[in-house]
């Protein structure tokens, strides 16, 4: 009688351990799932049957196989869904590369196209004018503009602006090296003293002075470089 009571108590302990809240859950190691990931889960919402052994006077649990259901849990995504996501990702990558190529081409055609900066004399003021029979002296104050229409800074070297009468230079002045920002205009003032002492054609000089019209030409040539990009202090 004591043996039968101990066996029944052990069986009840096993029942409490495996059956909780009306749901029996056991893992089976004898069956394999068709999927490569996830174990085979055996579950039943019905309690197991109690079977009494008349020879040993013990009670054991027998699974209720008729109501037992097997579920194969697969943690991976379905193949079709993965294929759709891969296609979508490939489309996004191709579109991004195409947009990048178009942007680079537009930038190369517009921003990387180098234009020659222009130097213009906007105005000239005359001071200290003296005119004789075959001579003249004056001081010219010129307002000069340097226009940079590039997407990069323009750095030019030191040069000179010369004033000529005919083909003879009668005055010059220095234009110091400088920098013009991208898409900007730089203005400067150049003061030049002009004298007719270097002219050798007296007949032409006399004719120009007599007509009270002096035809003077100015010329300035700038040499420099245009830096289209500046990255981390490196000029390109």
DSSP 108-165: HHHTS-----EEEEEEEEEEEEEE-SS-EEEEEEEEEEEEE-SSSEEEE--EEEEEEE
Exposed/middle/buried for residue 190 (C-beta within 10 Å: 0-12, 13-18, 19+): buried
Structure token pair of residue 65: 């196989």
Question: What pLDDT was estimated at residue 43?
Answer: 43
Question: What pLDDT was estimated at residue 152?
Answer: 85
CB atoms within 10 A of CB 136: 20
Tell me which residue has tokens 């010369």: 162
Question: What pLDDT was estimated at residue 12?
Answer: 52
Question: What pLDDT was estimated at residue 192?
Answer: 94
Low-confidence ranges of the chain (pLDDT < 70): 1-77, 229-236
φ, ψ of residue 88 in degrees (nearest 5):
-65, -40
Question: What pLDDT was estimated at residue 16?
Answer: 53
Which CATH architecture best describes the domain 118-235?
Answer: Sandwich (2.60)
Question: What pLDDT was estimated at residue 38?
Answer: 45
pTM over 0.85: no
Determine the Cα–Cα distance for residues 173 and 139; give it in Å rounded to an integer: 11
Residues of the chain with CATH 2.60.40: 118-235
Question: What pLDDT was estimated at residue 9?
Answer: 56
Question: What pLDDT was estimated at residue 53?
Answer: 52
């Amino acid at each position: 009688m004591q043996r039968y009571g101990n066996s029944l108590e052990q069986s009840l302990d096993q029942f409490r351990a495996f059956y909780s809240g009306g749901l029996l859950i056991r893992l089976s190691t004898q069956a394999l799932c068709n999927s490569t990931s996830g174990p085979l889960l055996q579950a039943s919402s019905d309690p197991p049957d109690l079977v009494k052994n008349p020879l040993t006077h013990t009670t054991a649990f027998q699974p209720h196989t008729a109501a037992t259901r097997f579920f194969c849990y697969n943690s991976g995504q379905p193949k079709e869904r993965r294929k759709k996501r891969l296609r979508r990702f490939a489309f996004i990558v191709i579109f991004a590369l195409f947009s990048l190529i178009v942007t680079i081409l537009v930038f190369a055609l517009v921003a990387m196209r180098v234009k020659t900066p222009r130097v213009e004399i906007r105005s000239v003021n005359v001071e200290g004018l003296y005119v004789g029979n075959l001579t003249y002296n004056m001081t010219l104050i010129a307002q000069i503009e340097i226009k940079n229409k590039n997407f990069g800074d323009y750095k030019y070297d030191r040069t000179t602006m010369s004033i000529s009468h005919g083909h003879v230079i009668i005055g010059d002045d220095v234009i110091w090296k400088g920098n013009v920002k991208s898409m900007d205009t730089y203005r400067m003032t150049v003061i030049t003293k002009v004298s007719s002492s270097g002219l050798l054609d007296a007949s032409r000089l006399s004719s120009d002075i007599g007509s009270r019209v002096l035809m003077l030409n100015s010329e300035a040539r700038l040499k420099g470089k245009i830096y289209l990009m500046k990255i981390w202090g490196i000029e390109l």
